[in-house]
Amino acid sequence: MSIEVPVLLPVISDFIFKLIFGDQLNVDILAEFLKSVLDIPDTEYDRIAIVDPHVKKESQNDKYGILDVKVHTQSGNIIHVEIQVWPIPEMKQRSIFFLSKMVTEQMASGKNHSDIKRVVSIIIANYTIFPENKYYHNQFRYRSDKDGAEFTNLTEINSLELSKLPPDADNTELWYWMKFIKSDDDEEVLNMLAQRSPQMRKAVGVLKELSADERTRMLYEEREIARRDIVSMMDGAKMDRSIEIAGNMLKRNRLIDEIIEDTGLTREEVENLRVKLLQ
């Protein structure tokens, strides 16, 4: 009698990612991943604490987000890591908002500006953020556009784009961690990665344990259903808006090809709408 092996849950899911990298019991996994991304001294990871991932609100009307993993390092610097599965048009503005909040929330009563600790964001995207370059890891700081002189390193944003990950290893540890995050249910890839380091082997083991846990799978499915429902509602709202625009254009006797180009509707959809308007 063969034992059915459960399909492995996707690490790219923000829920699963946080269970692997955001658990204090797995802080060694998180530290090795951060070392592969950031150019800060290894001593910063001698003691790292995973903290409440909520960005604090200053008033009841403030917007705030939930970060996937938020960390304080040995010297008090702050690192946050988040997964983005679906494209967000305002991603850059949103990233600046979170970064700014993590700076300003440090300024408790009586503190000086000199007390501000460095804040670093890592955005892992399952889509392309910067089509203008080929790099899967981009790092952004305040620098002069004249000679590249750095204004400050107090803030930093790193983007990791899974869509740009080359198929072959590039001799960086980051490539292997990105491969792990992207691996899905590829047992062969995971077995290869597990040989890379003790931390990678532990990460693969945690993923398998989570995938075999019935409650974890149930919670993951619930989140995915809710996510799909939101996407479906957004798609429905966009379709309704496109039909409204197409109807107005038809009433103004605009060309069918122009309506298709402006709304994204198919020729059949526009023709059917035209027939309905004539009835």
Is residue 37 located within the same domain as residue 111?
yes
**Domain finish residue from 156, 189, 212:** 212
Is residue 53 located within the same domain as residue 189?
yes
Judge whether 5 lies within some domain: no
Please tell me which residue, 122 or 268, carries the higher pLDDT value. 122
| 137 in Cβ contact with 173 (< 8 Å) | no
- pLDDT value of residue 214: 93
pLDDT, one tens digit per residue, over 60-87 is 444 434 557 889 999 999 999 998 887 7
pTM for the full predicted model? 0.77
Query: Looking up tokens 């149930």, which residue turns up?
Result: 218
**Domain finish residue from 154, 184, 212:** 212
Q: Count the residues in the chain.
A: 279
Is residue 196 located within the same domain as residue 232?
no
Please tell me which residue, 22 or 110, carries the higher pLDDT value. 22
pLDDT, one tens digit per residue, over 34-50 is 999 998 898 999 888 88
**CA-CA-CA-CA dihedral for 123, 128, 131, 133, to nearest 10:** 50
Decide if pLDDT at 3 tops 50. Answer: no
Decide if pLDDT at 57 tops 70. Answer: no
pLDDT, one tens digit per residue, over 157-184 is 999 999 999 999 998 999 999 999 998 7
Judge whether 219 lies within some domain: no
Judge whether 8 lies within some domain: no
Is residue 122 located within the same domain as residue 157?
yes
Mean pLDDT of the 21-30 span = 92
Q: With b meaning 16 or more CB within 10 Å and e meaning fewer, what string describes 222-236?
A: eeeeeeeeeeeeeee
Judge whether 1 lies within some domain: no
Average pLDDT, the chain: 84
As for how many domains the chain has, the answer is 2
Judge whether 143 lies within some domain: yes
Cα distances from 127 to residues 34, 115, 196, 213, in angstroms, run 21, 36, 26, 29
Q: Which domain holds residue 273?
A: 226-278
Is residue 21 located within the same domain as residue 130?
yes
Is residue 269 located within the same domain as residue 132?
no
Nearest to 205 by CA among 71, 55, 19, 15: 19
**Domain finish residue from 157, 183, 212:** 212
- pLDDT value of residue 245: 82
Is residue 114 located within the same domain as residue 78?
yes
N-terminal to C-terminal alpha carbon distance within the chain? 65
Is residue 207 located within the same domain as residue 71?
yes
- pLDDT value of residue 63: 42
- pLDDT value of residue 109: 60
Is residue 264 located within the same domain as residue 186?
no
Judge whether 153 lies within some domain: yes
Is residue 248 located within the same domain as residue 120?
no
